[in-house]
Structure 1
C-alpha cells in the first residue's frame, strides 16, 4: 500500500509540475518576487476598481471564477462581487463627478515558494470631490487582503479577496 501511495504522490507531483512547466518561474529572490506581486496587484486593483467604464474587463482578468470574497461584513463570490461593483460604478461616477481616486499607504507581497502567486496586503485611501466640488472632499480608508494563484495558463488570478472600507459611511 505504501508503494502505491508513493507512486501516486510522485505522479501527482509530476502532473502538477508539468502543468506549470511552461510558466515563467518565480523570481528566486523573495523580496523581488514580493515586489513583482505588489506591482501585479496594484495594477489589477487600478483596472477593476469600479471608477472607469472599463472596470468590468479588469475584474474578469483579475478574479478567478471560484473567488471567495468579503466586502466589509458581506460574504461574496465572483458573481455577487461583480454585481456589487456593477451597482457601485454608477453611484461613484455620479457622486464624485469623475474625481474619484485611490492610492496606497502600504503594500506587502508574500510570494508562494513554487510559483508566481502569493498573498498580498494593501492599505490605502479612496475618495474624491462630492459633485465635483473642490470644496467638498470626502476621503476614506481601505484595507485589502488577497490570495493570488498562478493558473494553468500561467496567468495570475485572485482566488480570495477580503476588503474593508469606510467609504460607505459617507451617506
Structure 2
C-alpha cells in the first residue's frame, strides 16, 4: 500500500470516528448538573405507569422516559441513563448484558416480592457502567429495576426505588 493510500485510510478512519462520536455524544444535554447534586425535595415528581407490565414508579421531571417495544424503559438524564426498568427472560437478558450470569449480592424485597440484588458492570459495546439491579420474578420473566451509578444510590435514585410498585 502506498504512503498516500495510508494517509487516505487514516483520514477516512478519523472522519468515521468523528462522526460516530458526534452521533453518540452530540444528541445529549451535557449542561445538566450531576444527578448526585439534585435534591429530591426540590424536584417535580411525576408518575409513570407501564400499561402492559403493570408497575408504577415516580421519577423527576428532569428525566425523559423512553419506552422500548420489548417492555424496557430507559429514564434518561443529560447524557446518561440513571434508571432502567427491564422485563426480560434469560435469553434476552444475556443478549442485552443484564444481570444474568452474575452472582446476586443479597436477597431483597421489591414491592413486597422476594428477589435478588445484583451489582455488575453493564457492557454496552465499548462502554461499561456499574449497575445496581433489584430483580424479581414476575409473570414468567424477570423484572429488574436498575440504577446506573458509580457508587451507592444517590438520593434521587433512592426516591425512585422507594416509589416502585407492582400492581398485581
Please say whether Structure 1 and Structure 2 have the same fold, judged by a TM-score greater than 0.5: no
More strand by share: 2
More helix by share: 1
TM-score (norm 2): 0.28
